[in-house]
Structure 1
Amino acid sequence: MSVSPPLDRKPALLTGRRILVVEDEYFLADDIGNALRALGAEIAGPVGDIEDAKAVLHGDGVLDGAVLDVNIRKEMIFPIARELRTREVPFVFTTGYDKVSIEPEFHDVPLWEKPIDIVAMAQNLARLVGDRRA
């Protein structure tokens, strides 16, 4: 009789982390949320407009990271990004636009162009969140 090797029981990369998802495309927002949940995250949102994102920012609960679509219903996400940066919360951008649409102050933020590799983007964010906690 053979014995299976023990399963690796290390915690998921985002276990115990709360991640804000701001995306106005419903199916993409759902896919992003699912990918982050698979890494152990709790999702704040997803939200599909700037006002709802502001409500999450000013509500109860700590945010550990965020995925921000650059253009939300024809509004740019940069006010939310500035507040996250002030709070030292790591985030990534998603966009269907070129990098030139990103304000210069955010050129250091990882940019995932649509159609995005959702799993790779989620892992990138997990590394940023993990680096922050290290």
Structure 2
Amino acid sequence: MTELSGLRVFLVEDEGFVALMIEDMLLDLGCEIAASVAQLTEAREIAATIEADLAVLDVNLDGRLVFPVAEILRERRIPLVFSTGYGARGLPPEFAGHPVLGKPFLMGELQKKIALALGH
């Protein structure tokens, strides 16, 4: 497999089709889906206790920003990758150093951003 084999990923994405596409990419890379959620409230609850090696977070969840979830995960030292149609300029300064996937993206880009988040 790859260096990502067995990596447990927490996915937060509000667009069902996009979530399925990202899940498929992650599985193809050898990752496991620790949880996949679409709503901010549920994502915040899960972020507090989930056992994950990495999180992929859509910045805009039906008009609500994902940064409260990102803060919980950052405090727990879970590496983050943001996905957004707005690029890195859509991140507040406190998250500016985290990898950003510009939507739409390909599996190779996802793999590179995951490796970057993990420090590989």
TM-score normalized by the length of structure 2 = 0.86
| Residue 76 (structure 1) aligned with residue 65 (structure 2) | yes
Q: Given residue 78 of structure 1, which amino acid in structure 2 is its aligned partner?
A: F
RMSD: 1.8
| Residue 22 (structure 1) aligned with residue 12 (structure 2) | yes
1:35-75 per-position Cα deviation (integer Å, ceiling 9, x unaligned): 1111221112321111121232234x411001100010111
**Paired residue total:** 120
| Residue 89 (structure 1) aligned with residue 62 (structure 2) | no
The 10-residue stretch of structure 1 (24-33 or 92-101) with the greater mean CA deviation from structure 2:
92-101
| Residue 107 (structure 1) aligned with residue 118 (structure 2) | no
Contact 1:44 1:56 in 2 (8 A): no
Moved over 6 A (4+): none
Distance 1:75 1:34 in 2: 25
Q: Given residue 115 of structure 1, which amino acid in structure 2 is its aligned partner?
A: P
Partner in structure 2 of residue 36 of structure 1: 26
Equivalent residue in structure 1 for 2:47, among 19, 40, 57: 57
Q: Given residue 113 of structure 2, which amino acid in structure 1 is its aligned partner?
A: N
User: What's the secondary structure of 1:19's corresponding residue?
Assistant: strand
Structure 2: unaligned runs, 5 residues or longer: none
Q: How far off its partner does 1:130 sit?
A: 6.1
Contact 1:68 1:92 in 2 (8 A): yes
Q: Which has the larger radius of gyration?
A: 1
| Percent of aligned positions that are identical | 38
Structure 1: unaligned runs, 5 residues or longer: 1-10
